[in-house]
Every structure is written in C-alpha cells, then in structure tokens.
Structure 1
C-alpha cells in the first residue's frame, strides 16, 4: 500500500498565507471588486465600493499585496490597485486540496 503524504511544508505554508489573506469578508470584497472591474482602482474608488473607511481599506490592501493577490502601481502621489491575474488564477480551491486532489505546484506569483 502506498504511503500517503501531506503537502510539503513550504507549499502548505504558501497556501496557508493565501487562505489567511482571504479570511476576511472585506478582503474578499476587494479582490472580487478588482477582479470584476479588471482595471486599476484608487483607494478612494475601493472605499466607495466596499463602504469601509480609507485606513481600513489601505490595511486590507497591504495584506492582499503581501501575498501578491493585488498589485500596486504608483502614479505620482496616488496608488492604484489591481488584481494579480497570474496569482489568483493559480489559487487552489480549499476543497481540492483538502479532498486530496493533485495540488498545483506552488506558483511564484510575482508581478510582471
């Protein structure tokens, strides 16, 4: 009988950081908004859409950018955020991983 192994530790840690970043309803709203809008948005536009204060949105954007779900582009003194399509497209579903489906190789979801 084949020995069943869990995900290797680095892959599990990468996926855990993704799940942790998405473990907040406002962050889910932000990622969804950016994915559906399909264009860079200012913090002000995001604040208006999700009805949360600017400092809270900025804190959420920081978390999302740390795991590379969101990319930031500086334009003078303004920052514009967009979804990182390369990273989001390789995000494994929780059900697939938990149910033992083959997990994709952990991507290096870097901008560009």
Structure 2
C-alpha cells in the first residue's frame, strides 16, 4: 500500500479495496479474538490448540483462519498433514499506516 506523503492525498482504488478487505476481515469479534490470540502467543498454533483456547468449534476456527489468511493477517504453515497458523507480522506492521492513510494523515 502506498501511503500518502502529503497528508490528505486520496487513496487509490486498489488501496481502498485492500483496506476494505482488511476491515471486513476484522468485522467479526471472534476473528479479532483469534488474531489477538495468535499475536500474543507469538508462535505458530494448530487449529486444535486454538479450539482449546476459544469458545468455538474446529470448523468455525478453520473458517475464520481462512478469512484471515485471505487478507494475509495470518500465514499457514504446513506441518505433515496439518497446518499451523501464525500472525503475518509484515502485514500487521502495515495496518497502522493504512489507518493513517484512510484518515488522511502521513
């Protein structure tokens, strides 16, 4: 995402769509909790571990992880026949800049 450097510069259609996708992914409180869990654990976690820590079932966790992976907030890592998920630190570092860009701040 190209953030405006002149303060108040309009977002491109592509950057607007990217930001909208991020906010849509975060529009569900359980996805926010799931992302927070992964961020505070600071390590890859299996779906089963996540299910043990959140009050939702495996299929729901898997759905939420798919949404978060779709906007690159989380990254899956294949380990044998299962996957572990971790926060994509690069993407999350960009998020505050995206918020500033939306607000017209440099």
- Regarding TM over 0.5, the answer is yes
Structure 1 distance, partners of 2:74, 2:99, is: 23
* Structure 2 residue 23 is the aligned partner of structure 1 residue 15: no
Structure 1 distance, partners of 2:14, 2:42, is: 31
Instruction: Give the equivalent residue in structure 2 for 1:58.
Output: 62
Structure 2 distance, partners of 1:45, 1:54, is: 10
* Structure 2 residue 29 is the aligned partner of structure 1 residue 30: no
Tell me how far 1:98 sits from its aligned partner: 4.3
TM-score (structure 2 length as normaliser): 0.85
Change (3 A) 1:93 1:50: farther
Q: Give the structure with the larger helix fraction.
A: 2
Number of residues paired by the alignment?
99
Tell me how far 1:5 sits from its aligned partner: 5.0
Higher RCO structure (Cα 8 Å, ≥6 apart): 2
Tell me how far 1:51 sits from its aligned partner: 1.2
Tell me how far 1:100 sits from its aligned partner: 1.6
Structure 1 distance, partners of 2:84, 2:16, is: 30
Give structure 1 regions of 4+ aligned residues with deviation exceeding 3 angstroms: none
SS state at 2:61 partner: helix
What is the RMSD computed on CA atoms of the aligned residues?
1.7
